[in-house]
Amino acid sequence: MKKLAGILIIVLVICFAAYEFQASESEDVQRVMAFGDSLTYGKGDKDGEGYIDGLEDELNNPQSEQKVSFWNYGIKGQETDGVMKQLDDYRIKTKLDEADTFIVFIGTNDLINSNGGNLEKISDRKINEGKREYINHLKKITSTLIEANDKADILVVGLYNPIKDNQKLEKHIRDYNESIKGLADKGERMLFIPTNDLFEDEKKTKYFSDKLHPNEKGYQLIANRVLESYDFK
């Protein structure tokens, strides 16, 4: 009986030590939650998961003392109302306070779908109406994150124009980005990160996998911009 009790004590000590190690280890790991559409999901990158994969590789390189864990909640085809539903899902909602940083890269599908589902013929009226709804949704998204987590920064990534020779679309992309930046600038823990200039004067075949989605090189440009703009620490 004494022998059994001794074994149980040893097992409990080992379990407690393992728990303490995992707890201390988890405290050293930064958690980044990313919300968005196919651009956050990584569509078009055959070797990884888009810009999130690029951030993860760079921040967790062998020479770095920091460790960063990314939770990628990007969904292909998603709009801002989809992100709002995600944030109301208890499986995600209950984890929001665990994040050290949030990334929100959403809006491309909102713009395209407000125009009728494509960018062939630009309707100023429809896109302007859609932008008002988009900004309202983005305010709700960022407000939810701020209320759920009192320490995490929110990186709001701007949109880019996938058709640079379309000046009507370029005007709307800039309008969207001005509104996004205006919203981010009002928040104490929010940062706007532009992307529209990344693909200017660049051959599309070099950085894109299709008409809309970047390839590995294109996503790396976005990852580099995030790293230049924000210090993960």
Q: What is the pLDDT of residues 20-53, one digit of tens each?
A: 434 444 558 999 999 999 999 999 998 778 999 9
Give the closest residue to 195 by CA, choosing from 171, 220, 168, 166: 220
Strand partners, 157: 193
Q: How many CB atoms lie within 10 A of CB 24?
A: 9
Angle between helices 124-148 and 167-186 in degrees, nearest 10:
20
Position 65 confidence tier, pLDDT thresholds 50, 70, 90: confident
Residue 3 has pLDDT above 80, yes or no: no
State mean pLDDT over 99-114: 98
Indicate the helix (H) or strand (E) that contains 114.
Answer: helix 108-114
- pLDDT tens across 142-196, in order? 999 999 999 999 999 999 999 989 999 999 999 999 999 999 999 889 999 999 9
What pTM, to 2 d.p., does this model score?
A: 0.87
Torsion of CA 134, 201, 38, 225, to 10 degrees: -80
Residue 97 has pLDDT above 50, yes or no: yes
